[in-house]
Amino acid sequence: MADQSTPQAPAEESASTTRNGAFSRRRLLGTAGATGLALGVAGGAAGYAAAPSGDSTDGAAPLTSLGSTEVMFHGKHQPGITTPLQARGHLVAFDLAAGAGRKEAAALLRRWSATAGRLMAGEETAHGDTDVARDAGPSSLTVTFGFGHSFFARTGLEKQRPVALDPLPDFSSDHLDKARSNGDLWVQIGANDALVAFHALRALQKDAGSAARVRWQMNGFNRSPGATSQVRTTRNLMGQIDGTRNPKPSESDFDMRIFVPEGGDAAWMAGGSYAVVRRIRMLLDDWEKLSVKAQENVIGRRKSDGAPLSGGTETSAMDLEKTGADGKPVVPVDAHARITRPDQNGGAAMLRRPFSFHDGFDADGVPDAGLLFICWQADPLRGFVTVQRKLDRGDALSAFIRHESSGLFAVPGGAAEGEYVGQRLLEG
C-alpha cells in the first residue's frame, strides 16, 4: 500500500434523454443537466453537480448530486483510472470459454462496450434489463476493461502481447491463491451507489454469454462522497489516511508515468495503462493490538491527520533526516511511507485507486478484510515491481498484511465514438 493519493477529476453534467416516449434513467435527472453547477474540490476525491431545483412534471423526486454525476465512456483513456474514488466497486476476471478465440473475444468486447456506454449514461441495457437500477441516475458509474497475459495465446495474438505484461516476480509477502489470480479478461466496475454497481456487474456477466466464464470476482467499498464535512483523502481499514502522495493529473509528468505513449512496442496500447490488482488481507487483530504511536511508526505518518512524523500537515514534505532526542530518525527507516517514496525508488510512481473489502470472518472469528489494491502505471516493471521489491527488503507494514491474490492486466486506451474497447488489438 504505497503512500499516494487519488487525483481530482471534474464531474460531468448529465444530459436528459427519452426513448419510445418514456422517461429513461437519465431523464430522471430533472433539471440537473440544465442548472447543475459542477464543483471540483482541489485535492479531493470527488466532484459534485449541484442538486436540481426539484420542479418535476412527472411527480418523481429529482436526483441528488450523488446520483446525477456522469462519467463519459468514450475518450482518450478508459474511465475508472483518473476517475475520483467511488463508494462501491466490483472486480471480476473472466476466462474465454473452450473453443472461443479472437472472433468471439471481439464480439464480446463489442457487446461489453455498448452496454457499458449505456449504463454509464444512466440508460437501461439494450435487451432484458433487470430493473435493479431503476430510478437511479448514473451515480459516477465507470466500467474499465483489461487483458491478461493468457488472453493473447487464447486469441492467437501472442505477437501483440506487450513485454510489460510479463508475469510479476514472486515476493516474500505473497500467499497467492491461483484460483483468484490473473485471468484472460478483467473488468473493473465502480459507482457511488451499490445497486448501480451491481446492475452493471450483472449486465456484463449476462453479456458474456457462452463466450467467457467468471474466473473470480471481488467486491469493495470506499467512503461515500459527502460523508465527511469536507473532501478528504480516504482512510483504509487500519484507520490510516491512505494515498497522500498519489501522482496528480495536474503534474507535468503524470501522463508519462501513468499512460502508455505513442510509439511503444504495442501500438494498440497507446493511451492505455497497466493495472496491478492485489487482494491484500489486513491482519487487523494484530494491528489493533498496537498503540497508536506504534501504528504511526509503522506507517511513518500521524494517524489523526496523515501528517509525516517529521511535522507539518498531510501534504508537508517528509524530512527523512530529522532525528529525535534519542538520535534516531523521527520517521523510522522501515516506515512504509518512507520506503514507498518515489525519491527512494528511482522516481518510480503509480496511481493507486483501491477499494476496501470485508468478506466476513473465518472459523476463529478473524476478519477477512483488507484492501483490493489497484495501481496504474505506464510500465509495471518500473512502477509496482520496483516499489514492491523495496518493500520486500524491510517494510514494517509487512508483518500486518498478506497478499492473497494477484493479477496484471493491459488496459488499452479509451474507445472513440463508434468503436469498442480493444478494437485496435482485435481488428488490427
Q: Which positions are catalytic?
A: 242
Q: What does the longest C-alpha to C-alpha distance in the chain come to?
A: 75
Other beta carbons within 10 angstroms of residue 289's beta carbon come to: 10
Residue corresponding to grid cell 485471468: 183
Cβ atoms within 10 Å of 222's Cβ, excluding its own? 23
Residue type, 334: D
DSSP code for 174: B
Quick one: how far is CA 10 from the chain centroid? Answer: 16
Which of 114, 422, 52 lies closest to 270, judged by CA?
A: 422
Write the burial class of residue 96 (CB in 10 Å: 0-12 exposed, 13-18 middle, 19+ buried): buried
CA atoms within 13 A on the CB side of 176: 17
| The residue to which cell 495503462 is assigned | 273
Radius of gyration of the chain (CA): 22
Of the candidates 117, 95, 91, the residue with the CA atom closest to the CA atom of residue 210: 95
Around 308, how many Cα atoms within 13 Å sit in the side-chain half-sphere? 24
CA distance 105 to 100: 7
For residue 392, the 8-state DSSP code is H
Nearest to 164 by CA among 279, 3, 272: 272
Number of H helices, E strands in the chain: 11, 13
SS3 call for 260: coil
